[in-house]
Amino acid sequence: MLEKKSNSRPANRSFHENLIKRLGPYEGRALEALGQDFFYLVDHLSADLHKNHSKDAPLLDLSESEFPWELQVFTNQFLRECVKSRGELTKFCFGLRKKLEEEEFRKEFWKILDAAYQQHFYITDSKKHFLI
């Protein structure tokens, strides 16, 4: 089953599939303890970031296949930084997933996520401009 998925483009792989590919099946599956909501959020938020910033890959000197993975890694880090301890991550992601259904909260959350994206991927060579 895993072999079939590895034939698809990397951009189509979920974060969990990418981790299994990079870490190996045992280590990748051990991360299932992070919870379904965590992996759902990483996949959906990074996919939305990719849509919103689709022209940024060349600016970051990333290939079109590397960019989705880098967005998944960024989203993973962002979610982990939102909590004080690892033990709170599962509960936080469950609550965040529910709150993102509210339009006003979603707008405010995206302002924070976009600002974090800009800060994370800021190009130091360009002092006047952030990414698109």
Residue-by-residue pLDDT tens, the chain, 132 positions: 333 333 334 447 899 899 888 888 888 777 888 889 999 999 999 999 999 988 888 888 888 888 999 999 999 999 999 998 878 999 999 999 999 999 999 999 999 999 999 998 876 554 445 554
Q: What is the pTM of this model?
A: 0.80
For residue 127, the one-letter residue type is: K
- Token pair in block for residue 16: 């969990």
d(CA 23, CA 86): 20
